Structure 1
Amino acid sequence: MDLLILLPFITIIAFATYVQTVTGFALGMIVMGAVTTFDLVPIAFTSVVISIVTFINGAVALKGNYKAVDLKRVVITCSAMFPAILGGLLVLDYMSSDLNSLLQVLLGLTIIVAGLMIMLKPEPMTKPSGTLMFAGSGAVAGFMAGLFSMAGPPLVYLFYRQPFELKTIRLCLLSIFLLSAVGRTTLVGAQGGLTIDMLTFSVICLPIVTLFTWLGKNYPPNVSPTTLRRLAFFLLIIIGASLVVKNI
C-alpha cells in the first residue's frame, strides 16, 4: 500500500469527518472531490470507502441521541432512496469504464451546485413538507449516493427548511446517510465490486473517523452556523471548479 496515497487520503477523511459531524453534511462531497482532484484513487474506489466511513461516522454521532431523530421522515426518505441507489450504481459502472473524464466533469459540476445550495437561505416552513417531497428528495439523493456516494445536497436543502430543531435536522441527515451507506455497500458487494484494497483502506480509516467524529461531537468550532456554511461553500466551489477545469 502506497503511503503517498494513504496519508493524504486519511487526512482528507479526518477533515471531512469533523466537518460532517458538526454540520450534518459534506463528508462525501469533500472526500470525493478532493481525492478525485488529486488523482489518489478512482471514483468507484473512493465511493466505497466513503460509504463505510459514513456508516461509522453516523453510528458514533447518533449514539445516545436517537430520541431526537424524526423517525417518520427518515423512513419516508429512505424508502425512495434505496431503489435509486441501484440506478446510480449502474450509471457509475458504465461511465467509469468508457467516460471517466466526463464522469469527473459531472462530479465537479455536482459539487459546485451542492456548494451553491449550501449557501441558499430559504425561509423556514411553518409546517413540515409532505410525504411526496421527502420521497422525491430521497430518490434524487439515492441516485447521487449510488453515483458518487454524495446523497447530501437535496436532503440538506429540504431538511434545513423544516420547522425542526437544529439538532433534529442534523441527526436526521446523519441517520439517512448511515442507512444509505449500508444500502450502497450491500449493493456493491452483491455486484462483486468490493475489493481487498477497498476494505483495507476503510479499516485503516475507521480509527481516524471514530476520533474525529468524537472531536466534532464534543469540541465543535466556536463559530456560527453561517460561518461554517460559508467555509464549506468556498471549499466545495474550489474543489468542483478544479475538477471541471482539469477535465475540459
Structure 2
Amino acid sequence: MTPEQIAAFILVMIVGTYTQTVTGFGMGMIVLGVVAQFDLTTITFASVIISLMMLANGSIALKGRLQVLDKQALKYSIIGLVPALILGVFLLTYLSRDFARILQGILGGAIFLGGVFIMMKPEPLKIRSGNLSFSIAGATAGVLGGLFSIAGPPLVYQYYRQPFSIDNIRLSLLAIFLMMNIGRLIVLAIQGELTLDMLWIGLICVPAVSLATVAGRRFPPPFSDQTMRRLSFLLLVLIGISLMLTA
C-alpha cells in the first residue's frame, strides 16, 4: 500500500471504529465497502486488518464494563454461534458459486426488509426473549458468518429488540465479535495466512483505532435510545442493500 492508501485506510478505520463502538457493529461493512469502492487494498487483506483492529476496539470498549452485560444472553449466543460457524465454513466448500450468490441475494433482501420494518417501529419487546432464541440467533449468525463472513445481522436484530439498555446491547455485540475474531485470527495463524505486511499495517492502525474507541465511549451521539435503535436498523438496511448489489 502507498502512503496515501494507508492514510485513507486509517481514516476509514477511524469512522468504522467509532460507529462500531457506539452501535456494537458496522466496522466491517464500512471498511470493506470503502476498500472495495476505491480499491485501497484486497478484501482479504482488509478483512484480516479488521479482525486485528476488533481486538483493540473490543478490549478497550469492554474494559471495566463487563458488569453491564447480560451474561446469560451472551453465553447462549456463543453456544449457538460456534458450532454453526464451523458448519457455515463447511457448507461454503460444497455450495456452487451461483447458488451461494442466490443465497446471498435472498439474505440481503431479508435483512433489508426486516431493517425497514423494524426501523419504522423500533420499540423493544416488553419481555426479554428466552435463552433458546439467543442460541438460534447465534446459530444463524454462525452459518452466515461461515458462508458470507457477515455474522452480525441476526445478532443485531436479536439484541436490539430486547428490553436492554443501549449500553448493554452494544457491549454484548462487541463482546461476541471480539471472541469471534480471536477464534478467526487463531485459525488464520495456524493456516499461515497472517503475513508481516498485515501485522505492520495493523500496528500502524492501532493508535487511531484506540483513540476512536475512546471517543466512542466518552462522546457517543446525543440521541435517545429509540433513535439509536432506529439508526442501528438503518445500518442493517445498508448491509442488506450491499449484499443484494454484490450478489
**Which residue is equivalent to 1:219?**
219
- Which whole-Å CA distance do the structure 2 matches of 1:221 and 1:113 have between them? 28
Matched, 1:175 2:160: no
**Which residue is equivalent to 1:57?**
57
- Letter paired with 1:52: L
**Which residue is equivalent to 1:22?**
22
8 Å contact from structure 1 (residues 77, 138) kept in 2: yes
Counting only pairs closer than 5 Å after superposition, residues 155-170 of structure 1 correspond to structure 2 as 155-170=155-170
8 Å contact from structure 2 (residues 26, 235) kept in 1: no
- Which whole-Å CA distance do the structure 1 matches of 2:234 and 2:164 have between them? 27
* Contiguous gaps of at least 5 residues in structure 1: none
- Which whole-Å CA distance do the structure 2 matches of 1:208 and 1:106 have between them? 36
The Cα shift of 1:140 comes to 1.9
Other structure's SS at 2:163 match: coil
**Which residue is equivalent to 2:48?**
48
8 Å contact from structure 1 (residues 33, 108) kept in 2: no
After superposition, give the CA deviation of every residue in 1:60-97 in whole Å (9 maximum; x if it has no partner).
111111111111211111122123333444566889xx
The Cα shift of 1:243 comes to 7.5
Structure 1 vs Structure 2: percent identity of aligned residues?
44
**Which residue is equivalent to 1:132?**
132
Other structure's SS at 1:189 match: helix
8 Å contact from structure 2 (residues 112, 237) kept in 1: yes
Question: Cα gap change, 1:195/1:156 in structure 2, threshold over 3 Å: closer, same or farther?
Answer: same
8 Å contact from structure 1 (residues 87, 146) kept in 2: yes
8 Å contact from structure 1 (residues 17, 57) kept in 2: yes
- Which whole-Å CA distance do the structure 1 matches of 2:132 and 2:172 have between them? 17
Question: Cα gap change, 1:230/1:162 in structure 2, threshold over 3 Å: closer, same or farther?
Answer: closer
* Contiguous gaps of at least 5 residues in structure 2: none
Question: How many residues are matched?
Answer: 244
- Letter paired with 1:192: G
> If the length of structure 2 is used for normalisation, what is the TM-score?
0.80
8 Å contact from structure 1 (residues 60, 213) kept in 2: yes
Question: Cα gap change, 1:112/1:202 in structure 2, threshold over 3 Å: closer, same or farther?
Answer: farther
The Cα shift of 1:241 comes to 5.0
> If the length of structure 1 is used for normalisation, what is the TM-score?
0.80
**What value does the CA root-mean-square deviation take over the aligned residues?**
3.3
Counting only pairs closer than 5 Å after superposition, residues 1-248 of structure 1 correspond to structure 2 as 1-89=1-89, 114=111, 117-119=114-116, 120=118, 121=121, 123-228=123-228, 241=241
Question: Cα gap change, 1:233/1:131 in structure 2, threshold over 3 Å: closer, same or farther?
Answer: closer
